[in-house]
Amino acid sequence: MTAISASAVPAAASSDPDGAALHRPVIDWFDAHARDLPWRRPEAGAWGVMVSEFMLQQTPVNRVLPVYEQWLARWPRPADLAAEPPGEAVRAWGRLGYPRRALRLHGAAAAIRERHGGDVPRDHAQLLALPGVGEYTAAAVASFAYGQRHPVLDTNVRRVFARAVSGAQYPPNATTAAERKLARLLLPEEEPTAARWAAATMELGALICTARTPDCARCPIAALCAWRQAGSPEHDGPPRRGQTYAGTDRQVRGKLLAVLREAVTPVPQTTLDQVWDEPVQRARALDGLVSDGLVEPLSGGLYRLPLT
């Protein structure tokens, strides 16, 4: 097999890349070095995989692990979660961040109970039709839970493909049609191998081909990497988006939700006013939480996590 060169997938690719040279070394590396994570164990089932995929979006594994374990202990099946108010999902979400994911997961659980008898569907189209489930999550659940053949494109996988095949240090800020086409072309033909490849490339991006300090000396495909063959050129595209938190509306929203999560009764406005000094930003953050369905306003200036 020949190595995939930096010119194999130029900006306007005219030929299809051959991923066969990459499959075996990446999967062999994964078999030897994959982390033992609870959602990868057979007992996790499709629901455990789905919960992990919601939680892991924009949140590192070490923060997800304790919340994931508590969540599955409390709600081992979708119907268990659907039976409780959505505010309980927000409460249990804790400090994972981006708490709208908790509401979306609750909505997906309710739909699974109503449409699929409480079992996470196997069919990709049915997964995609669930509320809160997008292109990535549907593919991930179908692949990781059911061993199906789907391109699974998270940030880690996109970075591996950008470097190994396209010769770029980083992928575009948003997933492109060209990336989706490349991911499909690189998929192994057999379903079990394709599912293993999806998990392996994700783990490679998380542990070895990291954003800031790729460990090329330990990479199983370093000799085939188009980016290294090109001399590891610096990123020359649009500036990469950074994530700020301190002083943002996100921080204020988090502080407001923290008070409501700890409360067993509705919280008065005066209590919420104490979490942030700047009144305009505080009011904007609270209005946003109400608009997003994360907080329910009551008469008399009281607020609580949503019951419906």
Where do the domains of the chain lie, and which CATH numbers do they carry? 19-228 (1.10.340.30), 247-302 (1.10.10)
Q: Which whole number is the average pLDDT over 70-89?
A: 98
| Catalytic residue list contains 53 | yes
d(CA 281, CA 283): 5
Q: What six digits make up the tokens of 235?
A: 């990123």
In percent, how much of the chain has pLDDT > 70? Answer: 93
* Contact call for residues 196 and 255 (beta carbons, < 8 A): no
Contacts with 69 (C-beta within 8 Å, 6 or more apart), sequence order: 38
What's the confidence (pLDDT) of residue 13?
36
Q: Which whole number is the average pLDDT over 30-38?
A: 98
Is residue 245's pLDDT more than 80?
no
Q: Which whole number is the average pLDDT over 105-110?
A: 98
What's the confidence (pLDDT) of residue 5?
36
What's the confidence (pLDDT) of residue 2?
33
Is residue 3's pLDDT more than 60?
no
What's the confidence (pLDDT) of residue 189?
96
pLDDT band at 235 (very low <50, low <70, confident <90, very high): confident
d(CA 121, CA 138): 10
Q: Residue 302's beta-bridge partner residues?
A: 268, 298
Q: Which whole number is the average pLDDT over 24-36?
A: 97
Catalytic residue among 53, 88, 179, 203: 53
